[in-house]
Structure 1
Amino acid sequence: MRENPRVTALIVAAGRGSRAGPGAPKQYRQLAGEPVLRRTLTAFATHPGISSVLAVIHEDDRDAYEDAAAGLPKLMSPCPGGATRQASVKAGLEALAGMAPEYVLIHDGARPLVPARLITDCIATLADHVGALAAIALTDTIRRTTGKGCAGETVDRSGLWRAQTPQAFRFSAILDAHRRASGKDYTDDVAVACAAGIEVAMVEGDEDNIKITSAEDLKRAERILMRGGDTRTGTGFDVHRFGPGDHVWLCGVKVPHEFGLVGHSDADAGLHAVTDAILGAIGAGDIGQHFPPSDPKWKGASSDIFLAHAAKLAKEQGAAISNVDLTLICERPKIGPHVSAMRQRIADILALELARVSVKATTTEGLGFTGRGEGIAAQALATLVLR
């Protein structure tokens, strides 16, 4: 292998991913605070052996792609895909024909947990082989089923492997193979290569290199990301007194009330408490240090700005927000009718699934300043995992 071969990663991300359930295509779903595709792109864009990265996307997803890819190095302008995965790969290869990299690693956009070791091994294998396939040897007993859905004969598992991606090739060879395969339907790029007589070497894959297909796969991937991390917990507490007005802002939701809340920003005690909890978990001070009340810039500001900033700082430290638990303390207004909207707003700001956000309310049975109806208090706890 040449010391520094020109290697392009071709990320196939034009699918619609309907099995993941309603909503955005699976490659744009949130995984521990980031789109699945961003994690995939990052794995290749930050790998020292990769020279450039080209994503093949659906035309309808261009805005979502730009958001997911923002700020990453080595990215080329995305290429529109075709009606099938094979057509999308060929479109990507044709888009690369002018620059003609020496090697190309073809990878599923919905495999966000590909380890750097596997990328390195696939590149290294191309020094001696025209193609390389990341795969895992089968170890479980394999059986066929009977027509009645019962256990049938045992299948010899020797020599059987589960294929993954990357599937890596010398560029000119796989481009020629795809051109010759036009009009035929193959299951993956190794099948295209083998049909063209290309010998493909096996590379030991990785059990964590899963493909996101269903909602359960997203949960499994998140568990993998959290595994072995450093768990941190932060708390936040905030108070605002009532003043003139006809509504209050709580957790980003406008709640009608006979009073307003007094504060330099929008006085959203709920979001302030959650912001401080996240900042506390990463040792980043408190909300006042980042947004001083003495600064006129923040007068009347929407508090979702503060919470989004705290989430950004956490992400920059490699921390994923596991869950947020908030308690609002007041006699009035009644919080119950607005809890669902509050949870959803916090989840949206933090890019979390709804199940990871809790909002509760309680009173102090008429005791203290909240009991006398003088204001609102909020107490929050946030758990983060540093990977």
Structure 2
Amino acid sequence: MEQRFGLIIVAAGRGTRMGTRESKQFLMLEDKPVIVHTLERFEAMPECAAIALVTAPQDHARCAAWIAEYGLQKVTDVVAGGAERQHSVYAGLQAIQQRGLDYVLIHDGVRPFVERDKVIACFDAARQYGAAVLAVPVKDTIKQVNGDGVITATPDRRSLWAIQTPQAFRLSDVIRAHEHAQEQQVLGTDDAMLVERMGQLVHVVEGDYTNVKLTTPDDLDLALWNLSKRKS
């Protein structure tokens, strides 16, 4: 039997950059909430065995209603998120651990346009190496700037990648990395950083620039354009 993965969708945040009272993962994108678009991407993937959706406790009821309304049968758990994203992911890891799966993918709830072939490439790389992330080469020149607003360095753009999700790991490894970070009172910028701290190499799989994280109002405009393009 072909190996399958568990998935954690992180949707517990209360981002402010969107400028809306509603959390960005619950904003309507055409005819359905952003989070439903994201869940449907993975619901359609045979390789995805189980989904743990991590949300704030006050959002459980409406998420459960959407899961039923849209027939999202692979969502096996709706989990309460924590104070920080890292705490939310760990709660999701505990849920996926109960599903008897060896690998887990961790994905932002506000990245609804990730392509199946990229997800599977990331999963395959994790199976080969133990840890992998989707990323795209940085297009712009990047400057390192000090506290006075003065440029101090210009890194070689060829070595710079913008990290996306999903990030894929051997489940036992990423749980151990999270627990080690808790012991050391470390908050990482992403899950790959926690695994890196354990000395494990994380491989990069090239993704698509369309796998955007919906963070600002401009991103919503881009998302609507992306949806219309897919339908044309």
Q: Which residue of 1 aligns with 2:44?
A: 46
**Aligned residue identity for 2:62:** A
Q: How does 1:106-255 map to 2 (within 5 A)?
A: 106-145=106-145, 154-182=154-182, 183-227=185-229, 229-230=231-232
After TM superposition, give the deviation of residue 39 of structure 1 in Å: 0.7
Q: Which residue of 2 aligns with 1:339?
A: none
After TM superposition, give the deviation of residue 152 of structure 1 in Å: 6.9
Q: Distance in 1 between matches of 2:230 and 2:24?
A: 25
- Mark the CA change 1:98 to 1:47 in structure 2 (over 3 Å): closer, same or farther: same
Structure 1, unaligned runs of 5 or more = 231-387
Query: Which secondary structure state, in structure 2, belongs to the residue aligned with residue 19 of structure 1?
Result: coil
After TM superposition, give the deviation of residue 75 of structure 1 in Å: 1.1
Q: RMSD between aligned alpha carbons?
A: 1.9
**Aligned residue identity for 2:172:** S
Query: Which secondary structure state, in structure 1, belongs to the residue aligned with residue 48 of structure 2?
Result: coil
Query: Which secondary structure state, in structure 1, belongs to the residue aligned with residue 21 of structure 2?
Result: coil
Query: Which secondary structure state, in structure 1, belongs to the residue aligned with residue 203 of structure 2?
Result: strand
Q: Distance in 2 between matches of 1:228 and 1:57?
A: 28
Q: Which residue of 2 aligns with 1:73?
A: 73
- Mark the CA change 1:152 to 1:105 in structure 2 (over 3 Å): closer, same or farther: same
> Conserved in 2, the CA contact under 8 Å of 1:54 and 1:78?
yes
Query: Which secondary structure state, in structure 2, belongs to the residue aligned with residue 112 of structure 1?
Result: coil
Q: Distance in 2 between matches of 1:210 and 1:39?
A: 13
Q: Distance in 2 between matches of 1:147 and 1:27?
A: 33
Q: Does residue 96 in structure 1 map to residue 96 in structure 2?
A: yes
CA deviation vs aligned residue, 1:231-280 (integer Å, no higher than 9, x gap): xxxxxxxxxxxxxxxxxxxxxxxxxxxxxxxxxxxxxxxxxxxxxxxxxx
Structure 2, unaligned runs of 5 or more = none
Q: Distance in 1 between matches of 2:159 and 2:208?
A: 17
CA deviation vs aligned residue, 1:164-204 (integer Å, no higher than 9, x gap): 00000011111111111102111000001001122111111
- Mark the CA change 1:196 to 1:217 in structure 2 (over 3 Å): closer, same or farther: same
206-215 vs 153-162, which moves further? 153-162
> Conserved in 2, the CA contact under 8 Å of 1:37 and 1:68?
no
After TM superposition, give the deviation of residue 161 of structure 1 in Å: 0.5
After TM superposition, give the deviation of residue 4 of structure 1 in Å: 1.4
- Mark the CA change 1:228 to 1:91 in structure 2 (over 3 Å): closer, same or farther: closer
> Conserved in 1, the CA contact under 8 Å of 2:132 and 2:167?
yes
Q: Distance in 1 between matches of 2:60 and 2:158?
A: 44
Q: Distance in 1 between matches of 2:231 and 2:43?
A: 23
Q: Distance in 1 between matches of 2:168 and 2:204?
A: 10
Q: Distance in 1 between matches of 2:55 and 2:217?
A: 21
**TM-score, normalised via structure 2 length:** 0.91
**TM-score, normalised via structure 1 length:** 0.56
Q: Which residue of 2 aligns with 1:9?
A: 7
Query: Which secondary structure state, in structure 2, belongs to the residue aligned with residue 164 of structure 1?
Result: strand
After TM superposition, give the deviation of residue 153 of structure 1 in Å: 5.0
After TM superposition, give the deviation of residue 79 of structure 1 in Å: 0.7
Q: Distance in 2 between matches of 1:19 and 1:180?
A: 31
- By relative contact order (CA 8 Å, sep 6+), the higher-ranking structure is 2
After TM superposition, give the deviation of residue 157 of structure 1 in Å: 1.4
Q: Distance in 1 between matches of 2:48 and 2:41?
A: 10
Q: Which residue of 2 aligns with 1:82?
A: 82
Query: Which secondary structure state, in structure 2, belongs to the residue aligned with residue 202 of structure 1?
Result: strand
> Conserved in 2, the CA contact under 8 Å of 1:28 and 1:68?
no
After TM superposition, give the deviation of residue 66 of structure 1 in Å: 2.1
- Higher Cα Rg, which structure: 1
Percent identity over the alignment is: 38
Query: Which secondary structure state, in structure 1, belongs to the residue aligned with residue 95 of structure 2?
Result: helix
